[in-house]
Amino acid sequence: MTETPHLSLKFEQLEKAKQIAQNSVPKIQRVPHHLRDRENFAKHYLPRLVSIGPIHHGAEKLQLGEKYKLMWAAMYLERTKQDAQTLYQKIASNIEQLKDLFAEDVIRDFPDDEKLSWSWMLFVDGCSLLQILEKGELQDPKEMNVKVDQLVLVWQDVLLLENQLPYHVLKLLSDHEDDAKLVKSMNEFLKCHHLSPELRSKKQDIGNSMTKDEHRYA
């Protein structure tokens, strides 16, 4: 069989596809179209008050959330007694590695691809998210300087599929010296939504125990 230049290109693309599959790692990405088309599925990925990360950053209806995030970032820095410029530099110095944790189309479609814009967005969103995780308690909303109903929306937005940050961003900005304390704060937040891995494990153990009892008395 005679191989034409066009066919040669096809074989090259086939080989590259294999390499992509072997080297691919999970990345933060948009919800695929086959899920977007489902009725009432938008509530699982579209934020209503606060954007976290680049996918919905700058959306007109989320401008109030931008003001809130800046306030929460300032509160986080004051509470943890960390220097804003030092933390920002940590993000800026690692920005290429951090951007690589997002899908290519997310990087491409970000409103401004300049290093400054990415670094500032991840810095503010990361600091504000840490403040939410550690101080966003419904029984004490004054810690976030918002109303309870707004804080409920924030809780919901933080868990959305297209509203995520890489763990490494939080690690760079955290005032905790080790990962264990950061992970604990994340798990404590998830417990409020009954999503903690620890709680899921306990529920599974209870379920297994009940199953054994059913077999015992059957």
Name the average pLDDT for the chain: 84
Query: In this predicted structure, what is the pLDDT of residue 118?
Result: 93
User: Tens digit of pLDDT for each residue in 84-124?
Assistant: 999 999 999 999 999 999 999 999 888 666 667 999 999 99
DSSP 63-125: HHHHHHHHHHHHHHHHHHT--HHHHHHHHHHTHHHHHTTB-HHHHHHSS---HHHHHHHHHHH
Could you give the C-alpha distances from 210 to 42, 51, 111, 122, 167, in angstroms and in order? 36, 41, 52, 45, 36
Q: Is 82 exposed, middle or buried (0-12, 13-18, 19+ CB in 10 A)?
A: middle
User: Tens digit of pLDDT for each residue in 3-62?
Assistant: 677 888 888 888 877 765 555 568 999 999 888 888 889 999 999 999 999 999 999 999
Decide: helix, strand or coil at residue 28: strand
Residue 143 has pLDDT above 90, yes or no: no
Verdict on whether the full-model pTM lies above 0.75? yes
**CA 21, 164, 16: angle at the middle one, nearest 5?**
15
CA dist 155 and 97 (Å) reads 28
State the average pLDDT over residues 149-166.
94
State the average pLDDT over residues 176-202.
73
Report residue 72's pLDDT band, with 50, 70 and 90 as the boundaries.
Answer: very high
Decide: helix, strand or coil at residue 142: helix
Query: In this predicted structure, what is the pLDDT of residue 214?
Result: 39
